[in-house]
Amino acid sequence: MYKKKNYYLLLFLACIIAVSIRVYQFGVVPGGMNQDGAMAAVDAKALADYGTDRLGMRYPVHLTAWGFGQMSALLSYLMIPSIKLFGLSVFSARLPMLLVSLASIYLLYLFSTDFAGKNTALVVLCFTAINPWHIIQSRWALDCNLFPHFLLAGICFLNRGISRKSGWLYLSMVFFALSMYCYGISVYTVPVMLFASGIMLLRRKKVSFLQILICAIIYLLIAWPFLACMAINTFGIDTIETPFFTIPYFPYSMRSSDVLFFSKEPIKQLQQNAEALLRILFQIYRGPAWNEIRGFGTLYVFSVPFILIGMVLVFRRYRKSIAAALTVIWFLTSLAAGLITANVNINRINIIFYPLILFTGIGIYASIHYFDGKTIGRILKLLIPIAYITAFCIFAGTYFTTYADQAADDFMLDFGNAVTAIKDTDAEKIYISADAQYKGYSHVSEILTLFYMETDEKYYQSPEFSRRFTFHIPPDPDPSEDAVYVAAADDLLYFSENYYQINSYGKFYVIQPR
């Protein structure tokens, strides 16, 4: 379909666009810092400095997070080199996600080439380069967004290992195992995918029982600490400490309610999950701004016909192609996860998007190729690229303007700027508003303060930190106290300009006695 010269020109342009849209104003847009990303970075700094998380736990395989909710650990470990090199900042915290996302574009191109040939792979690459979901998730730091990338690496290397009968088969198990440390739902998705894939490959005589056994050993050698962590928290077993890492028990944190089978109203939850899942599939989901820009969807709203065409074509090739079979298993597992996981949203079902991207690219190529040499084929060859280029240009313009403003508000940029302004204060007492995100959410204010002030973890664990920092604004502040305040607008009524100097940082204020 493409001449060699044109092929490599398009490939080069797609790569330039993919990198440019992801690195332009990186670390600045979106402004501010999501609280989960800040927590991952604070724990990463502690691991880099002392080999513990911010609470003093030595190399945990799963993070304590808020205490009432756990968090995956791999992103924090990936942040360690960038924090060592550049210090604790928005840039260094987000850099690992950017690099992993860019590497995944290449892996998807490789998988698509093996799956459907280089022409289809080029279309998939071009679409991934301008894909809204992929762009948005690559530019901020959320632990669970690592999951689809590591799963993609596992699928890509597994397919290469089977088709080329090489060591890629065993390397794939490394990435499947590492994906367990990306997101909690991996405990009921990755093993299911591996089991189904193993049965399929054995039935088709593509692998031997010995190869399956070796793969299982490699996978379990890496994944067992995470699996053990899930087990001890399910059955209430004490924390296990080894010379190299800690498998923690979280007495105040159980995430079993996130799974449909443990829901108090499973039928109602299933209906809600199914509705949300359909909205995501048909590009009419209305979720938080950090996951989607309204009007564009995760794959552009007009991609639905191509998704359906590509899906049909892939399912039809299930028996003939290992890559197609792996993609079908991947997609069906994603659908099941969407039905099982409570309050399913875009980041909770993020493993579905690579199959959807593949379906879209395959559907676009098939639609053009089917009418190749005909008038309608020439029209489609012109109109489809124009439609996507136009949508991408509008998306990019929105992302760096109106969306940037909205995301900065959602990521509490004003609060971050106010805290940064007092970073070097020598005040004896520091009062921080509990309303950084929502009213009274002092735990969010605390973690963002630790991030922006680059707080030393040993200091945070000491009584001195609790003595100096208070995460609420007193209703009767003392003008004679050696104190500084980061206050919300609602707190201003406590402070008279006769006694206090008040500096505005948007929605938050730095207040000091005159």
pTM, rounded to two decimals: 0.95
Res. 266 pLDDT band, cuts 50 70 90: confident
- Who contacts 312 (Cβ-Cβ below 8 Å, separation ≥6)? none
**233 found inside a domain:** yes
Instruction: Tell me: do 449 and 309 sit in the same domain.
Output: no
Res. 79 pLDDT band, cuts 50 70 90: very high
Instruction: Tell me: do 393 and 420 sit in the same domain.
Output: no
Instruction: Tell me: do 172 and 197 sit in the same domain.
Output: yes
- Average pLDDT estimate for 339-359: 92
Distances (CA, A) of 161 to 148, 155, 192: 20, 10, 20
- Give per-residue pLDDT as tens, 222-235: 999 999 999 999 89
Instruction: Tell me: do 206 and 61 sit in the same domain.
Output: yes
**183 found inside a domain:** yes
> Nearest Cα to 305, choosing from 379, 350, 368, 391?
368
Give the tokens for residue 18.
């993919």
- HEC secondary structure over 171-228: HHHHHHHHHCCCCHHHHHCHHHHHHHHHHHHHHCCCCCHHHHHHHHHHHHHHHHHHHH
DSSP, res 357: H
Chain centre to alpha carbon of residue 336 = 19
Instruction: Tell me: do 45 and 186 sit in the same domain.
Output: yes
Instruction: Tell me: do 354 and 435 sit in the same domain.
Output: no
Does the pLDDT value for residue 218 go beyond 80? Answer: yes
Give CA–CA dist 266/258, Å, rounded: 11
Of 131-140, 259-268, 345-354, 494-503, least confident by mean pLDDT is: 259-268
Res. 262 pLDDT band, cuts 50 70 90: low
- Average pLDDT estimate for 157-170: 93
- Average pLDDT estimate for 159-167: 91
**407 found inside a domain:** no
Does the pLDDT value for residue 258 go beyond 70? Answer: no
> What is the C-alpha end-to-end distance of the chain, expressed in Å?
73
Count of other CB atoms within 10 angstroms of residue 124: 30
- Average pLDDT estimate for 384-410: 96
**398 found inside a domain:** yes
Of 377, 402, 427, which closes a domain? Answer: 402
Question: Where on the phi/psi map is residue 455: left (φ > 0), alpha (ψ -120 to 50), or beta?
Answer: beta
**102 found inside a domain:** yes
pLDDT at 401: 96
Give CA–CA dist 260/444, Å, rounded: 27
Give CA–CA dist 56/17, Å, rounded: 43
Of 176-185, 289-298, 412-421, least confident by mean pLDDT is: 289-298
pLDDT at 70: 87
Give the tokens for residue 155.
């699928």
Specify the residue for token string 């400490």: 241
Sequence letter at residue 143: D
Does the pLDDT value for residue 16 go beyond 80? Answer: yes
Sequence letter at residue 133: W
- Average pLDDT estimate for 163-190: 95
Number of domains composing the chain: 2
Does the pLDDT value for residue 1 go beyond 70? Answer: no
Sequence letter at residue 155: I
- Give per-residue pLDDT as tens, 195-210: 999 999 999 999 999 9
Instruction: Tell me: do 427 and 299 sit in the same domain.
Output: no
Instruction: Tell me: do 397 and 458 sit in the same domain.
Output: no
Give CA–CA dist 296/331, Å, rounded: 22
Give CA–CA dist 310/215, Å, rounded: 31
Does the pLDDT value for residue 260 go beyond 80? Answer: no
Specify the residue for token string 């009524």: 493
Of 382, 402, 422, which closes a domain? Answer: 402
Instruction: Tell me: do 256 and 217 sit in the same domain.
Output: yes
Give yes or no for a contact between 418 and 509, defined as CB atoms under 8 angstroms apart: yes
Domain of 422, in residue numbers: 413-513
Instruction: Tell me: do 139 and 43 sit in the same domain.
Output: yes
Percentage of the chain surpassing pLDDT 70? 98
- Average pLDDT estimate for 60-72: 90
Of 402, 431, 453, which closes a domain? Answer: 402
Sequence letter at residue 47: L
Give CA–CA dist 185/434, Å, rounded: 31
- Who contacts 215 (Cβ-Cβ below 8 Å, separation ≥6)? 169, 170, 172, 173, 194, 198, 207
DSSP 318-329: TTT-HHHHHHHH
Give yes or no for a contact between 124 and 109, defined as CB atoms under 8 angstroms apart: yes
Give CA–CA dist 93/90, Å, rounded: 5
Percentage of the chain surpassing pLDDT 90? 83
Give the tokens for residue 273.
């999950």
- Sign for the CA dihedral angle at 362, 365, 371, 377 comes to positive
Of 268-282, 400-414, 497-511, least confident by mean pLDDT is: 268-282
Instruction: Tell me: do 214 and 122 sit in the same domain.
Output: yes
**363 found inside a domain:** yes
**408 found inside a domain:** no
Peptide bond into 30 cis (omega under 30): yes
Give the tokens for residue 64.
């304590």
- Average pLDDT estimate for 428-433: 98
Which residues, listed in sequence order, are joined to residue 495 by a DSSP beta bridge? Answer: none
3-class secondary-structure state, position 475: coil
Dihedral in degrees, nearest 10, Cα atoms 154, 135, 187, 107: 0
- HEC secondary structure over 394-425: HHHHHHCCHHHHHHHHHCCHHHHHHHHHCCCC
**291 found inside a domain:** yes
Instruction: Tell me: do 337 and 438 sit in the same domain.
Output: no
